[in-house]
Every structure is written in C-alpha cells, then in structure tokens.
Amino acid sequence: MIFMLVLTSLIFALIGLFLGGGGIWLITLGGSWFYLIAGAAFLATAFFVLVRSALAYWVYAATILVTLVWALLEVGFDWWQLGARGGLVVLLGLWLLLPWVRRPILRDDYGFPEKDKPARAGPWPLVAAVLVSIVVAVISLFTDPHAIKGSLPGARSASAETANAVPDGEWHGYGRTERGQRWSPLDQITPDNVGSLELAWQIQTGDMMGPNDVVETTYENTPLMVDDTLYVCTPHSWAMAFDARTGEEKWKFDPKVPVDGNRQHQTCRGVTYYDDPDMAEGERCKIRVYLPTSDARLIALNAEDGTICADFADNGTLQLQKNMPYKTQGYYYSTSPPLAINGKIVVGGSVNDNYSTDSPSGVIRAYDIDTGELIWNFDTGNPEQTEPLGPDETYTKNSPNSWSVMSGDSDLGLIYAPIGNRTPDQIGLDRSPAVEKYSSSVVALDTETGQPVWNFQGVHHDLWDMDVPAQPALLDLTIDGETVPALVQATKQGEVFVLNRETGEPILPVKEVPAPQDGGLEGENLSLTQPVSALSFNPPKLEGKDMWGASLLDQLVCRIKLKQYNYEGRYTPPSVDGTIVYPGNFGTLNWGSVAVDPERQVMFAMPVYMAYTSTLVPKSTPGVATQGINSNNGADYAVSFSTLLGPLGVPCQAPPWGYVAGADLTTGEIVWKHKNGTIQDMTPLPLKIKMGVPGIGGPIMTKGGVAFLGATMDNYIRGYDVTTGEQLWEARLPAGGQATPMTYETLDGAQYVLIVAGGHGSVGTETGDYILAYKLPEG
C-alpha cells in the first residue's frame, strides 16, 4: 500500500511539473494562467498524498471544481471540450478514492506510531466534486452547442430545363446536367421511406491501388446513367459500362496509362457523355463518352461498345501536352470530365502543386466535339489571345489552371470555369497582372470565342492554395418577386458566392473586410482586404479555448503551439516562422461542391474545418531538397505543409470537424447545421461515436426531399431530410466513399441511389474498387 502512495504522489507531481512548467511558458506567450494554477494544485496534492494527509482530498476536490468552472466558462456544455479539460482530472480523482490509495491516507493500518497518525477525515469533498463533474458530463452528452436547428422552405418555383434537357430518370453529367446542380427530379424515395433502402447490387471494377502508385490514388468518380447504362471511370483511367439494373459489365476500355511517380493525383472524377444530333440513330459513335486520362490524353469512345471513335482528333485521341511550354512527364493531366456544350468539348487540366516554377500552362481549350479541331484557348496568363496557337507557339508557363469541373449555360452561351492558383501557391512575388486577376476565381467564357465575359475573384493575391475547387451550380432564384439567373460558387475558404451568372455581380451581398498584414515575405503585395459573402461557412478565428487533445496535458501543448505560430486569423500570410492556415486548403468546401434545389431554391453542403500549418523553408536550409512535392523547384523557398496536430497525433483543433448544412439561397441564411460522421474508422477501436468528422466528396438532393452523401472518413453513405438535416438512413460501405453519389430511375420504374466506394489515399480511408446501388424493396 505504501508503494501505491508513493506511485500516486509521483504521478501527481509529474503532472504538476508538466502543467506548471507549460503554464509558465504559455503565460509568457500571452495565454491562460489556468495551467500554472492547476500545476500548483497537482503538486500540493502530491505532497499531501505522500505525507498521508486528508488535505489531499480537499485540495484535489477544489482542483476538480475550479477546473470544471473554468472549462464551463470557456466552452460551455461541449462534451468533447469538457472531456479534454476534465477527463484526466476526474479519473485521477477516482484513483484517489480507490481503497489501496484511500485507506493508507485516512487510517493507520500499516504500523505507523499513534503520534504520527494523520488527521482523520473522510474523502467526501472529493466524492462530491467527482459527482458534480459526472452530472455536468451527463448534461453535456445531451447538449450540442454547435447545432443550428431549423426548417428549409418547400418548393417556390418549377424547375427550369436547359437547352439540352435530361430525362428525369437519367444522370448525364458530373452534376447531372451542364448546370451542375446535383439535383434530381425523382421523388420515389422520400423521408418517409428512405429508411427502407436496401442494397440492390454490388460490383468491383478490378482497378485497385498498386504498390507503385502515388499516395493520392483515389476513387472520386460519379458515374453517368443514360438509357439504363452506367458509364464509369476508375483511378487508372479505365472507362467502363454497366447495366444500371444489375451491375453487369457491358464493356471496359483500358488506355494503358503508365505508372508515374511525378503525378500528384491518380484519379478520374468522371467521363463526358455526348449524343451527336447530326448523326442518324444507330450510327456508330453517335453516342460517345469522352475519357480524360492521367497521362494528359482525351479519348473519344463509342458508348455502345467502348471502342475508339477514330474520326475524333488523331485516331480518337487528343494529346493535351500540345503547345505546352514544359512537357515534364506527370506534371500535367486531367482529373475532371470536360464539358460538352454547343458542339464543343471544353477541357481544363491539373498542374502539380508546388513542384516547380517551370510547370505546364493552366490553359482551358475548346475543341470541335466531332473532329477534335482546336477552336479556342483561354490561358489565364495571356487571357486576351484566345485564337488557337500555331504549332511552334506555347502557352504561358505555370498559369492558374482549371482542374475541377466546369458548368455551362447553353442558352446564354457561357461556360463557367473554376480557376486555381499558380505554383508556388504560398509565394506571390512575381505574379503578372493577368495571373493576379484570374487566380482563385470563377470566370465566365464565351462558348464561341473563349473570351472572358466576366470574372469574380474569391481570394485576392492567394497565398494559401485556396483554388476555386468546385463546379459552379446554376439555377434561377426568385429575388423580390423577380427571376434572377444565379450561379452558386462554393470555395475552400468557406465563402459561398451567389452571383448573377449573366453579369458576375453578387446577388447576395459581398463585402470586403480587412485582411492580416503582418508576416509574409518581404515584397509580397498583400491584399488589404478579402471578400466575404452573406452566405458564409467561415469559422471564427481560433483561440486558446478552441485547442483540444486527449487530455489537459496535450491540450496545453496545443495552446502553446497556437501561440508559437504566426496567426491573426484567416489569410495570415505564410512565413518562415510558420503560419496557421484555417480553414486549411483541404477546404471548408472542395471538389465535391454543394447540391442546389432549383424548386426550393436551397442548398445542401458539407462544410469541413481542419487547421493546417504552412512554413516557408529557405532553400539554404539543409535537407530541403528531400521535401518532395513541396520543393518548389525554381523558387527561393520550399514549403512544409501539415495538419495542426498535438503530440499524440490528435488534432489540436477541437471537434466537430465536419457538418452537414442547409441554406436558403434567396437570403443567405444557414437554416440548419449538424455535426456529421463518426470516428468508427479513424481509431483502432470500432467506436461509432458521432463526433463530426472531416470528409471529401459531395452531396446530391432529390425532389423527394432526401439528400445523399458519403464523403466522411467513416465508411458510410447516408440519407438526410432536406428540410431539417435529420439523418434518416445509412449503409455501411466496404471502402471509403470519397465520391459524390448519384441517383437514377431504370426503365422498369425503380429509383436507385449509387455510390462508388474505393477510398482516398490522401485521407487514408479503406481502399477498394466497389460500386454499390441501393433501392426500395419491391412490393
């Protein structure tokens, strides 16, 4: 028993020294005094335990109660935040109440002389403090301070069709139509019956991540469905067709893309479907799918059998490296489906981030959809010259690219392209006026000429890799009784800009707010302001109280970290001392975009909040050449970029990290917001605890009033009530579901919900090669 006293005293003393020493450090950085006080209390408790004084119980009871009051003042009834502050403290209180610790403190049963007996007293102060803490913990378990509860409105207009109407039961593009709404007019599945959805069929494509593939080998595909046939592409750029009712394979085309370690991404988000109106029914290649590949090709395939349409381009293949200033293998490729609009196939491309200043161009090109002849090119580094280049000319090197999915309005004759940043993302010392204008923007291009009609920039002088990542969603809104053509643009930084798609002017107000100016490299032309939309998921600035951990100990370390990094809020400039980037470039919203309902005029989103650190590393620093994709060859600085983590690998930033949210697009109000996803697949233990986890992927909505979403870091697809955001259904996936689902109706009248589940290398979810389809039970 004496051994247990010594051990207990030692544990309390070590914790006290850690809290006290760390607390002094935090105070010198301008942080909270609590940890120093807690450290002193732990040391006092250690002393009284060692001398077998019942004062240990009074001191530690006071420690628990002071910790509880401090925690409630900082974070309220937030269970996860209270647990980080008080969990270890209460557990140690329970330890002091165990018989082999309590008895030698309170009684002389072990041979001590009478005169040396400690004061007789009970442990009741500590018992009371522990009970109060337990009551508070129970209350907090049933309290969600992060939730917004409300109800979205019902239908306010009829859905308007585009010039290229899509049958109600089909899904012809990445976002279903050229408008990118991710909304289906199907209504067979409703909030009342969605809980009955069951697996209709499950297949495997056979395309798996190989041992020599890059880390970011991902299944991000959203299949198309036309006339009971599904069209799919896989990470290694296979195109495949399946029967929509049974999943039976119809054909497969393998373009034989070589493995390339230079390639940053190994993914295919989708193929492009086209039905040529000038060709007779049944004629070969009347219906086609266009396949983008990760070795910079665009291949036209006959949708009937998967064979090449040789009349397109050079024997069916466009070589997208043509006219590029640098043709380094693996630096340029396509990850997203091109846009078919008004007789053209419009292609963007992905340029590796932070590899080299001598990188390929981010040019957007429009080709004749039948012949593959280049019609125009829009290069953000040389935006006025849209006429096709000559054979010996080259596009601007390293100009901002459009790697995500474009939308179009055939009636207006406009293409809407989301534009990224240029390499190096964190260094903007030598950017041209054109690059400064078009970086991190959405631009409207004339379909006939490629000339820019308008441009809206989401981040000025972007130093944070805040590419505009998402396909713009187009719909008509009723504002003050008038119909307004709208564009909804989701962004990584959390702003959702609602613009007039004819003019680019904001429909919902956008204001310029002051931006941080301290830090950054000498000579950076930092923007004095940054735009903020009336519809915004931008989180509040991180404070010490937002830091988290598994215990009070690593929570203290994270508070020290927060003070050590350069951080004045969003858009704090990157620096050699290290900067916190929050929201990080993983995105509040990313390529999964948002879903919009053109009848309700509402939006369903999956905002994600993860803090990152960004550190500029001078090239003179030893070992910088080993920093891989962040090497920034040709620049004076490399960049080190990572998640803000505590010493145990737990995020420093408190959960929730992921939500689902519903917003009214006519007012900008976020009507409901709920944490989303569990930690079941994020920890060694299968704990299905709804914490609100990160994810990457996108949602869809249906006229039936149900939204569907995979994306989270636990392997589930879920169904939600669009009106309230309540989760109504979920199904376990055999791998990560980091893709946007889709829905369709087969010729026999059954509505299916389909998702690709193959995992995502960047977020570490379970890999696979699955496609799963769900429907309601028959009868």
Identify the band that residue 162 occupies on the pLDDT scale cut at 50, 70 and 90: low
pLDDT (tens digit per residue) in 146-156: 999 999 999 88
**Better-predicted residue by pLDDT, 414 or 109:** 414
**H or E segment and range at residue 374:** strand 374-378
Q: Which of 55-64, 94-103, 630-639 is the most confident on average?
A: 55-64
Task: Specify the range with the lowest mean pLDDT, choosing from 525-534, 541-550, 682-691.
Answer: 682-691
Show which residues are catalytic.
465
> Which pLDDT belongs to residue 631?
82
User: Does position 245 have pLDDT exceeding 90, yes or no?
Assistant: yes
User: Does position 627 have pLDDT exceeding 60, yes or no?
Assistant: no
CA distance 607 to 672: 12
Q: Across the strands, what pairs with 356?
A: 633
Residue 344: which of 286, 410, 389 has the closest Cα? 410
Q: 509 φ, ψ to 5°?
A: -60, 145
The SS3 assignment for 9 reads helix
> Which pLDDT belongs to residue 164?
65
CA distance 269 to 608: 20
Q: Mark 38-51 as b/e (b = at least 16 C-beta within 10 Å).
A: bbbbbbbbbbbbbe
Identify the band that residue 645 occupies on the pLDDT scale cut at 50, 70 and 90: very high
Strands in 272-275's sheet, in edge-to-edge order, are 272-275, 287-292, 297-302, 317-319
Identify the band that residue 110 occupies on the pLDDT scale cut at 50, 70 and 90: very low
User: Does position 659 have pLDDT exceeding 70, yes or no?
Assistant: yes
Residues 741-745 have a mean pLDDT of 98
User: Does position 111 have pLDDT exceeding 50, yes or no?
Assistant: no
User: Does position 117 have pLDDT exceeding 60, yes or no?
Assistant: no
Q: Please state, as a whole number, how many other Cβ atoms lie within 10 Å of the Cβ of residue 15.
A: 22
Q: 628 φ, ψ to 5°?
A: 55, -130
Cβ 302 vs Cβ 284: under 8 Å: yes
pLDDT (tens digit per residue) in 305-353: 999 999 999 999 999 999 999 888 889 999 999 999 999 999 999 998 8
pLDDT (tens digit per residue) in 18-69: 999 999 999 999 999 999 999 999 999 999 999 888 899 999 999 999 999 9
> Which pLDDT belongs to residue 628?
42
> Which pLDDT belongs to residue 106?
76
> Which pLDDT belongs to residue 161?
60
> Which pLDDT belongs to residue 121?
59
User: Does position 232 have pLDDT exceeding 70, yes or no?
Assistant: yes
**H or E segment and range at residue 241:** strand 239-243
Look up tokens 């195109």; give the residue.
239
CA distance 136 to 577: 40
Residues 362-376 have a mean pLDDT of 97
> Which pLDDT belongs to residue 519?
83
Residue 374's identity, in one-letter code, is L
Residue 315: which of 372, 263, 364 has the closest Cα? 372
> Which pLDDT belongs to residue 137?
93
SS (H, E, C) 547-583: ECCCCHHHHHHHHHHHHHCECCCCCCCCECCCEEECC
In the structure encoding, which two tokens stand for residue 502, read together?
Answer: 């004819």
Q: 567 φ, ψ to 5°?
A: -160, 115
Task: Specify the range with the lowest mean pLDDT, choosing from 103-107, 305-309, 387-391, 567-571.
Answer: 103-107
If you count them, how many residues does the chain have? 779
**Better-predicted residue by pLDDT, 123 or 206:** 206
Residue 322's identity, in one-letter code, is K
Cα angle value 81/603/660 (rounded, 5°): 25
> What is the DSSP annotation of 745-760?
E-TTS-EEEEEEE--B
Identify the band that residue 122 occupies on the pLDDT scale cut at 50, 70 and 90: confident
Residues 649-660 have a mean pLDDT of 95
- State the chain's mean pLDDT as an integer: 93
pLDDT (tens digit per residue) in 745-756: 999 999 999 999
pLDDT (tens digit per residue) in 264-290: 899 999 999 999 999 999 999 999 999
The SS3 assignment for 618 reads strand
Residues 462-482 have a mean pLDDT of 96
The SS3 assignment for 682 reads coil
How much is the CA Rg of the chain, to the nearest whole Å?
29
Contacts 24+ apart (CB under 8 A), 431-440: 431/461, 432/381, 434/380, 434/381, 434/382, 434/383, 434/399, 435/380, 435/381, 435/399, 435/400, 436/461, 437/383, 438/380, 438/383, 438/400, 439/380, 439/400, 440/400, 440/466, 440/467, 440/468
